Each structure stands twice: as structure tokens, then as C-alpha cells.
Amino acid sequence: MSLLSRLFPVLFALLISVASLPAAERPNIVWIVIEDMSAHFSCYGETTIQTPNIDKLAATGVKFTNAYVTAPVCSTCRSALITGMYQTSIGAHHHRSGRGEMKINLPSHVKLIPEYFQNAGYWTCNMGTPHGSPKIAKTDYNFEWDPSVYDSGDWSGRKRGQPFFAQIQLHGGKFRGGKNWSKRVTEKLGSVTDPADVNLPPYYPDDEVIRDDWAAYLDTVRWTDHEVGELVARLEKENIRDNTVIFLITDHGISHARGKQFCYQEGMHIPLIVNGPGLRPGTIRDDVVVHIDMAASSMAMAGIEIPDYLQSKDLLAEDYEPRDYVVCARDRCDETVDRIRGVTNGRFKYIRNFYPDRPYLQPNAYKDGKEILIRLKELKAAGKLDKYQMLQMAESRPPEELYDMQTDPWELNNLVHDPYYSDMLRRMRGNLHEWIEKTGDLGAQPEGAMYDSDMAVYLNTIKKRRPERFEIIQRNIEQMKKWEAEGK
């Protein structure tokens, strides 16, 4: 009998008892959502740094080793999470879309998850730090929504004994590169990570700029671990830790050349830890799951009926059936038009590139302005990148990619043309086709006027905040339209 099957009777009894409790006795639900960070915690195998607070959550809770986002960029990922729906099913799949004159409205039957908690008697809050704030923290949803689904930016305003649902948005990897970052890390954590200790993926060159950046990133991981410790300490101080369920994820992987915005492991694989009453300490789950599964799982723990339309699954349900595969979808990011779908069953990864004649690193002002991307392009021009480091620098892409992540965890050797894997290739092609049809993937539909509407707002914002990027983005938009006209 598997560990999962042994857990079901205990968890089912817990959920039945929760459902019968009055609101005041139901567990608090906390979602920790960390920006721009992969699973570089020591409990997930990172050795350069230590993350004791997150490690403790994993050791005393449930750790998922095969968790993925449904989109490798923040606004689309967050739009999916807050609805329990694939962003591609609700028209929220383009990053920062619906921001101009043209708006995106959810289907009438789709509600935001905090609304369900409010209706069940919960206080709902969206916080930017473990200590809370009067202001609502980051949402970044691509559709029109009612801010009243959040009662505040902290749980302290709730009635005595009222349970709460809290989203805690941690800045995570976005701290890296910030002003006086090394000084802040030293003051809070006592030291910075030595770039000489960094272990880079083989698809990045052993270069000083890349090493320095990765070390600064690992310090954001340490900083985040400290913040998680502060959150747990607050719960303990307020004597509510024992009645609080914590979900911890990141909103996608590290912001690097092959990470954020892409469907490689660096972009779509995330940590997922669940910790709280009734969960068996030290449980490790290796079935494939997606981040939207937090929605149904949280609702079940609160005794809230899960609506049939939700694409999220309760990971702890008695009748839970593991997914055969999961899908991550990348569409337009800022001005850069793209469509990529990544499918994985935990062992194999299949990637479909719908724009194979375009470069991997299409023009994108957000990423092109990063020092690491500038350096990679310099090294390419100097002929100093090996064949693996050139993968993400290529001027075109294969229409399909297939990787055996057991033997090739870095996804370096494309197996599409290897006859030994032809059956797996056909199977995963079928998986993607099935998912596109079943979920109503809207990614194939042209944006048309929505693109122009969003770009007008984007350009106006950039002109005010980052005027040095204005002409770059204009040129990128022209390039996107030129390629579209050419059928490229």
C-alpha cells in the first residue's frame, strides 16, 4: 500500500470533521506566493545555501516534488491561481493583457477563490509582507475583478475567532539587482553568498557576471526563507499556528534566459509545500500537480463545496486520482508574441513551439535589459558559448522538443528524432492535443485589437517610468507585426 493511500483515511476523516464545523472553528488558510524563484531550497536539493524555515515546513508537512505552474510568468500564473482555472480557458493567457481600453471579463460562472471564502465566513486578505499592511498587495490579474473580494491587507482586522484566508506575496527573486542589495543582505543575514560557491546549470557559461547574478539570486532565496520564518513566528505568537494550513509556492521559476517565460524546468517547475493540522509530517509526493490545485485543496480544507467547473483538483481528497500529465502554457509576454506548450508526466517533457522560425530569445525589453542577457549575447558574439549554452541563443527552434528528465535533467538532448522514443513522442503529442481540446485552449486565437490596446498602455507607462526603453519597445512591436505579416 502506498503512502498516499495510507494517508487518505486520515485526511478524509479530517475533512469530514472540518466540513461540519462552524466557521469560527475552521482552519485558517495561508498562501505564500513567492516571485521569480525556482525550487532552490535545501529541502529540494540546493547545497550552496541553507533554508531552515522552509525546510521545516517541508519536514513537518507535505512536499510535492513534481509541481508545476500552468504559466511561466506572473500575471497569467496569478490569474489562473485565483480562479482555479487554466488561464488559457478564461482568456487570461497573455501576460499583462486587458490593461487598455479593451478589457477581459471572466465567464459569468467563474468566481475568484477569495469570494468563496468570504461567503463561508472567512476574513480575506492579500498581504505584501508577513506583518501585513493596510493596503492590498500584488494581484496582477489580467481580467476585470471586484477588489471587495479582499477585506484588507492583513488578518488583524477580523472579528474575534473568525478564520481567515490570506495570500502573502513575497518579493522573492525580484530583490536581486536592487539598490544596496548586498548591504541589505549582510545587515539582515550576516553575509552574502560567495559567487565562487555557485553551481550553475550547464547551459549557462562559467562567467563572472552570471556567477555574481546567481549568487545574488540565492541571497533572495535566503531572504525569503527568513521572511517565512517571520510569518511562522507571528502565527505562533498569536497562538493560531496549530489551526493554520500553509501552502507555499513560487509564481514561476528564476528570471533568467531559460527560466521565466519558458517551459523548461527552470521556468515551470516550482516548489509546493503544504503544512498544517492533520497532515502527516515528512510526506513526499511525486505525482505531477499544477499550482491551481491549491484552490480546490484549500476550499476542501475549509469545508467549502468545490464547484464542478473548477479545473483545480483537491490533492488531499479521498478519491483523488493523480493526473497523467500536466501542461504549462506560455503566450504573449509584454510586447513579445509567442505560443509554447510544455507537457510533462514527471519523467518526460514534451515542448511544442508554435513559432519555430523565431529566435528562442525574441526581442523583449524586460529581459533584454538584464545584465545577464546582455552578457550572454556578448559571449555569443565572441564565440565563447559551447553547444549547450547556445541552445537558448539559437535563431530558430525545433517545432517539437522531447526530453527524458531522468537521464537528462537539464533538458539538453532533444529526443524528437530518436526512434527509440517514438512511442513516447506520439503519446505526449496526444496528451497535448487532448488538453487543448478538453480545456478549450484559446492560445491559437489571434489577439488583433487587444494587442494594440495593451501596447498603447504599455508604451504610455514606459514613457513615464523608463523612457530609455520606449523606442526599444516600439521597434519590438514593429518586429512582431512584421513577423506576423510574413507568417513567421
What percentage of residues in the chain have a pLDDT greater than 90? 93
Q: Give the β-pairing of 283-285 and 326-330.
A: unpaired
Q: What's the whole-number mean pLDDT along residues 450-456?
A: 97
Q: Is the pLDDT of residue 201 over 90?
A: yes
Say if residues 35 and 174 touch (Cβ distance below 8 Å): yes
Cross-strand partners of 469: none
pLDDT digits (tens, 9 = 90+) for 233-259: 999 999 999 999 999 999 999 999 999
What domains can be seen in the chain, in order of their start residue? 3-321 (3.40.720.10), 329-457 (3.30.1120)
Asked whether residue 435 carries a pLDDT value surpassing 80, the answer given is yes
CA distance 229 to 251: 19
Q: In this predicted structure, what is the pLDDT of residue 177?
A: 87
Mean pLDDT of the chain: 95
Average pLDDT over residues 125-144: 94
For 369-425, how does the pLDDT look when each residue is reduced to its tens digit (9 = 90+)? 999 999 999 999 999 999 999 999 999 999 999 999 999 999 999 999 999 999 999
Task: Give the HSE-up count for residue 130: Cα atoms under 13 Å, Cβ half-sphere.
Answer: 18
Among the listed residues 7, 22, 92, the one whose alpha carbon sits nearest the alpha carbon of residue 320:
7
438-466: average pLDDT: 96
pLDDT tens for 309-361 read: 999 999 999 999 999 999 999 999 999 999 999 999 999 999 999 999 999 99
Q: How far is CA 208 from CA 211, 215, 218, 264, 368, in A?
A: 5, 10, 15, 24, 18
Residue 1: pLDDT band (50, 70, 90) is very low
Q: What is the pLDDT of residues 64-123, one digit of tens each?
A: 999 999 999 999 999 999 999 999 999 999 999 999 999 999 999 999 999 999 999 999
How many Å apart are CA 438 and CA 102, to the nearest integer? Answer: 27
Per-residue confidence (pLDDT) for residue 23, from 0 to 100? 61
Cβ proximity of 185 and 156 under 8 Å: no
pTM: 0.94
**With bands split at pLDDT 50, 70 and 90, how would you rate the model's confidence at 132?**
confident
Tell me which residue has cell 513567421. Answer: 488
Q: What pLDDT band is residue 13 in, cutting at 50, 70 and 90?
A: very low
Residue 404 CA from chain centroid, whole number = 22
What is the C-alpha separation between 480 and 363, in angstroms, rounded?
Answer: 9
pLDDT at 36: 98
Handedness of CA 215, 397, 80, 318 (dihedral sign): negative
